[in-house]
């Protein structure tokens, strides 16, 4: 909220020498962040005077309208200036900057030749003076509000400090001069004169003379006041001191009646609504819209009402969307002379719902949603009609009210709780002073039993910690010492977290750069990559950042591939990247979320339905290699990165998780149908790896034969602790064997046959050569087998026998012939 210090000072005696830093620190100390501090008029030097327009000569032949204006600046002669604005007529009072003046932006005013005339000064707009953003035309001051020759800097109260304080949602009362003046006074230890106490509402008698009011739904509001006046002078204009304050608070001056309601709202925090009294049929009722379907609001829109909307109605139907926006039919216009003024303490949730339903957020709804001091309905309406009588010459007719203010309940409070909760000694005296300072009343039963009555405007004070915060704000958070609690022993990463860390370290150490992509995807792109079925069932965002990417990713590769393209676009020739992250698939019908409160822990069944209503989100690790994984070097070219390496990385990731696996060929998008491996653990697919589909490569403009892998980390079972067996130290015997097999036989099958045939003493087996130029659809596979016994050196005969047994098995299972 923007607050002019000149207004604040009406209620707090802030010493004149208080620095801006002190003011800022004072607000920050009690919990108000300062968005900005504007020093108005700091870069403005006079002479700036009120002048009257005496004559206007329109200069023609220019691209835009140009006027040559004669001004009476109170100098006894006419001063002529050039002006590009047209929103004024002869006799208007305007603001003139005379030669020697300096306007914001170091704009020096001097007599100068322009448009073939001498301009001896300048007629100013509000923006040129740095007092508002208004630049539609120059400032025209209503007749009677200024004298010719008067100092405009003083008249327009230009010199001021405007502080923009951020107000948190629990402190609705601080969306007012009253609230922030109170906070500032408490923070600086200064006396505070409450503007609400300066109003005497009882002067305005409650009677049957004005518009009467009733509350139909007491849930929606606790109290409403309607005060009626008549004889409001339609010619009366808003005095400059009022319009300037409204403008400094960031609102616009509109008309006297409306300005008064806004002024009182800014001052006290209570939104008010003025109805044209003559348009109200008999009396008002505060009720839900019910079967009434439409209301034309004063912005001219036909609003479709929800049955639940709170309206102010008369017997003809709804007149206003209560607390949110007035209706067109009862709008106060330039001819309105009789006004019924409404001020009410609405239920914040009711207003919030209406405001959101109709997408109408206003200065009024912002305050009402946060809760307004219930005593203000009576006080602020009185304050406003007081001003209408004083400034608009109105005559008081009468007042009516319904309901009564509902105040927060008293709290039972042990003041010693403050020290216990803050972890530092705070004396009972300090606790008392702090609470009194924010407006609490204290009744002491004993040193550990106080009854606290929170002030009217602090509906947020309902629990002991709320009071602790008030004390802490007052004594300063700096008072709280530093102590370090230590948690449970035996804390460790869980198996999944260890695994994730191991895998990211492995990939990064082996040439992959880790990235994080946004999980938003385009469904067409997903389809173009070949994602179908369950892997294309994406959740759609109701409010995506852009219509181009409305879906949540179902897989990491689409995002990674785009990242590769982006990197290549930025000049990279080789890109090896990986990502670890969650994916989202809308494949399971989810339990519906229960609607429950938070007064107590949900039942186990409810917790289960909350959990079951959230989809399982698998964690994947995926990598893409476009080009080579390392650059060519001075000593030779780097190896190509092929489908085989991609599968190797996927295998290694599975191995890091401690799982054993099998590999089968697969046909899976977006991979090459003949160059994709599926890796299975316990018979279930957990990974895919290989070369990307040529169509995908062409579509994205990637280097030929780019490769990718994906492992579903969360699908890898957690294995039990590794049991180590004793290492064998007897000599090893090595046997090589070359087999000719049909090229269609998978190498894993051949290896498995050799393993089985070779027997228990086979320690390891390694494919060390593959020759595919035999013709006839045959290949030669050469394996090196290492045998070792626990208790003896194996003899040559023994080892040959193992080799032959292995060959026999390979022949039987794979038709492999030993190559001689």
Partner 1 sequence: MSLTASELATIVKGALSAIAGAGDLSEIKKVKIEHLGDKSPLAKASQSLGSLPADQKAEFGKVVGAAKSEVNSAFEARVLELEALRDAKVLLEEKVDVTLPAPKISKGGLHPLTILTNEINDLFLGLGYRVAEGPELESEWLNFDALNIPADHPARTMQDTFFVEPLEAKLVLRTHTSPVQIRTMLENKPPIYVICPGRTYRADELDATHTPVFSQVEGLVIDRGITMADLKGTLDYFAQAMFGPEVKTRLRPSFFPFTEPSAEVDFFFNGRWVEWGGCGMVNPKVLQACGIDTEEFSGFAFGMGLERTLMVRHGITDMHDIVEADIRFTQSFGLGGR
Q: Which positions from 415 through 434 interact with partner 1, judged by CB under 8 A?
A: 420-424
Confirm or reject binding of residue 197 to partner 1 (CB under 8 A): no
Q: Is 813 left (phi over 0), alpha (psi -120 to 50) or beta?
A: alpha
Shortest CB 626 distance to partner 1, Å:
11
Are the beta carbons of 31 and 25 closer than 8 angstroms? Answer: no
Residue 266's nearest CA partner among 1, 660, 571 is 1
Shortest CB 470 distance to partner 1, Å:
9
Site for partner 1 in 461-480 (CB under 8 A): 463-466, 468-469, 472-473, 477-478, 480
Q: Pick the piece of the chain touching partner 1 (CB under 8 A) from 156-164, 402-410, 534-542, 801-809.
A: 534-542
Q: Pick the piece of the chain touching partner 1 (CB under 8 A) from 198-206, 233-241, 383-391, 508-516.
A: 508-516
Shortest CB 702 distance to partner 1, Å:
15
The two three-digit tokens of residue 34, written as one number: 């300062």
- Residue window 366-405: x/- pattern of binding to partner 1, with contact defined by CB under 8 A: x--xx-----------------------------------
Residue 174's nearest CA partner among 415, 412, 373 is 373
Between 33 and 447, CB nearer to partner 1 = 33
3-state secondary structure 293-355: CEEEECCCCEEECCCCCEEEEECCEEEEECCCEEECCCCCCCCCCCEEEEEEEECHHHHHHHH
Confirm or reject binding of residue 519 to partner 1 (CB under 8 A): yes
Confirm or reject binding of residue 820 to partner 1 (CB under 8 A): no
Q: Is 475 left (phi over 0), alpha (psi -120 to 50) or beta?
A: alpha
- What span, in angstroms and rounded, lies between the C-alpha atoms of 754 and 739? 10
Confirm or reject binding of residue 796 to partner 1 (CB under 8 A): no
Confirm or reject binding of residue 674 to partner 1 (CB under 8 A): no
Question: Is 379 buried (19+), middle (13-18) or exposed (0-12) by CB count in 10 A?
Answer: buried
Number of residues that bind partner 1 (CB under 8 A): 109
Strands 520-521 and 513-514, sheet pairing: unpaired
Which value, to the nearest 10 degrees, does the dihedral of the CA atoms of residues 175, 181, 183, 187 take? 150
Residue choice 64, 359, 445, 634 for contact with partner 1 (CB under 8 A)? 634
Between 208 and 589, CB nearer to partner 1 = 589
Residue choice 18, 255, 283, 582 for contact with partner 1 (CB under 8 A)? 582
Confirm or reject binding of residue 629 to partner 1 (CB under 8 A): yes
What 8-state DSSP symbol labels residue 158?
-
Confirm or reject binding of residue 352 to partner 1 (CB under 8 A): yes
Are the beta carbons of 701 and 639 closer than 8 angstroms? Answer: no
Site for partner 1 in 695-734 (CB under 8 A): none
Shortest CB 542 distance to partner 1, Å:
4
Confirm or reject binding of residue 307 to partner 1 (CB under 8 A): no
Between 387 and 689, CB nearer to partner 1 = 689
Between 509 and 744, CB nearer to partner 1 = 509
Confirm or reject binding of residue 561 to partner 1 (CB under 8 A): no
Shortest CB 564 distance to partner 1, Å:
9
Site for partner 1 in 171-190 (CB under 8 A): 171
Shortest CB 666 distance to partner 1, Å:
27
**Residue 354 φ then ψ, to 5°:** -60, -45
Confirm or reject binding of residue 255 to partner 1 (CB under 8 A): no
Question: What residues pair up with 192 in beta bridges, in sequence order?
Answer: 12
- What span, in angstroms and rounded, lies between the C-alpha atoms of 201 and 380? 8
Confirm or reject binding of residue 21 to partner 1 (CB under 8 A): no
- What span, in angstroms and rounded, lies between the C-alpha atoms of 144 and 50? 12
Shortest CB 350 distance to partner 1, Å:
9
CA pseudo-torsion sign 550, 552, 557, 561: positive
Half-sphere exposure in the Cβ direction for 691 (13 Å, CA): 18
Between 397 and 471, CB nearer to partner 1 = 471
Shortest CB 472 distance to partner 1, Å:
5
Confirm or reject binding of residue 108 to partner 1 (CB under 8 A): no
């Amino acid at each position: 909220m923007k607050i002019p210090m000149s207004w604040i000072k009406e209620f707090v005696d802030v010493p004149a020498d208080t620095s801006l830093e002190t003011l800022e620190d004072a607000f920050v100390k009690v919990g108000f962040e300062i968005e900005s501090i504007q020093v108005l008029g700091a870069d403005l030097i006079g002479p700036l005077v009120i002048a009257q327009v005496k004559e206007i000569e329109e200069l023609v032949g220019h691209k835009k309208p140009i006027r040559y204006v004669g001004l009476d600046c109170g100098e006894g002669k006419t001063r002529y200036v050039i002006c590009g604005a047209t929103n004024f007529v002869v006799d208007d009072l305007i603001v003139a900057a005379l030669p020697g003046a300096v306007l914001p932006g170091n704009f020096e005013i001097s007599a100068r030749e322009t448009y073939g005339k001498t301009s001896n000064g300048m007629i100013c707009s509000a923006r040129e003076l740095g007092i508002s953003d208004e630049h539609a035309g120059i400032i025209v001051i209503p007749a009677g509000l200024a004298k010719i020759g008067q100092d405009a800097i003083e008249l327009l109260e230009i010199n001021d400090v405007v502080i923009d304080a951020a107000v948190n949602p629990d402190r609705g009362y601080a969306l007012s001069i009253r609230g922030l003046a109170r906070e500032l006074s408490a923070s600086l230890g200064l006396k505070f004169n409450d503007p609400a106490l300066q109003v005497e509402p009882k002067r305005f008698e409650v009677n049957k003379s004005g518009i009467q009011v009733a509350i139909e739904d007491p849930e929606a509001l606790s109290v409403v006041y309607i005060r009626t006046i008549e004889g409001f002078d339609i010619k009366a204009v808003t005095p400059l001191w009022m319009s300037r304050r409204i403008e400094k608070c960031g609102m616009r001056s509109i008309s006297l009646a409306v300005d008064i309601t806004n002024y009182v709202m800014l001052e006290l925090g209570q939104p008010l609504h003025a109805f044209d009294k003559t348009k109200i049929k008999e009396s008002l009722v505060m009720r839900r819209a019910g079967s009434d379907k439409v209301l034309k609001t004063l912005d001219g829109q036909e609003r479709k009402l929800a049955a639940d909307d709170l309206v102010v109605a008369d017997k003809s139907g709804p007149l206003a969307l209560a607390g949110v926006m007035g209706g067109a039919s009862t709008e106060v216009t330039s001819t309105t002379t009789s006004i019924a003024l409404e001020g009410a303490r609405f239920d914040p949730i009711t207003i919030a719902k209406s405001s959101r339903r109709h997408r109408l957020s206003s200065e009024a709804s912002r305050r009402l949603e946060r809760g307004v001091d219930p005593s203000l309905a009576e006080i602020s309406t009185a304050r406003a009609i007081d001003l209408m009588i004083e400034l608009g010459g109105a005559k008081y007719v009468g007042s009516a009210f319904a309901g009564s203010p509902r105040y927060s309940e008293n709290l039972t409070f042990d003041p010693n709780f403050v020290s216990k909760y803050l972890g530092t000694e705070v004396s009972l005296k300090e606790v008392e002073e702090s609470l009194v300072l924010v407006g609490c009343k204290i009744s002491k039963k004993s040193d550990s039993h106080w009854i606290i009555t929170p002030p009217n405007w602090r509906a947020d004070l309902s629990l002991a910690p709320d009071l602790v915060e008030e004390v802490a704000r007052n004594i300063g958070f700096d008072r709280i010492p530093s102590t370090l609690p230590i948690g449970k022993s035996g804390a460790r990463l869980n198996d999944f977290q260890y695994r994730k860390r191991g895998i990211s370290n492995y990939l990064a150490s082996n040439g992959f750069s880790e990235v994080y992509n946004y999980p938003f995807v385009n469904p067409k792109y997903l389809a173009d990559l070949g994602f179908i079925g369950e892997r294309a069932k994406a959740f759609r965002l109701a409010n995506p950042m852009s219509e181009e990417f409305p879906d949540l990713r179902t897989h990491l590769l689409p995002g990674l591939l785009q990242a590769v393209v982006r990197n290549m676009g930025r000049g990279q020739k080789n890109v090896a990247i990986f990502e670890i992250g969650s994916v989202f698939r809308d494949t399971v019908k989810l339990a519906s979320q229960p609607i429950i409160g938070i007064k107590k822990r949900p039942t186990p069944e409810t917790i289960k339905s909350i959990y079951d209503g959230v989809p399982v989100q698998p964690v994947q690790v995926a990598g893409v290699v476009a080009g080579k994984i390392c650059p060519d070097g001075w000593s030779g070219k780097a190896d190509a990165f092929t489908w085989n390496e991609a599968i190797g990385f996927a295998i290694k990731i599975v191995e890091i998780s401690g799982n054993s696996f099998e590999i089968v060929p697969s046909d899976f998008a977006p991979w090459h149908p003949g160059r994709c491996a599926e890796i299975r653990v316990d018979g279930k697919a957990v990974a895919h790896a290989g070369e990307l589909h040529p169509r995908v490569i062409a579509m994205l403009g990637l280097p030929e034969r780019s490769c990718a892998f994906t492992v579903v980390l969360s699908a890898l079972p957690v294995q039990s602790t590794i049991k180590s067996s004793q290492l064998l130290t007897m000599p090893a015997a090595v046997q090589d064997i070359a087999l000719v097999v049909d090229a269609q036989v998978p190498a894993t099958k051949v290896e498995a046959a050799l393993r089985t045939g070779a027997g228990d003493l086979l320690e390891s087996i390694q494919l060390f050569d593959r020759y595919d130029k035999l013709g006839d659809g045959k290949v030669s596979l050469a394996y090196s087998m290492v045998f070792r016994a626990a208790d003896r050196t194996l003899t040559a005969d023994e080892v040959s026998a193992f080799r032959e047994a292995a060959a026999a098995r390979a022949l039987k299972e794979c038709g492999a012939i030993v190559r001689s």
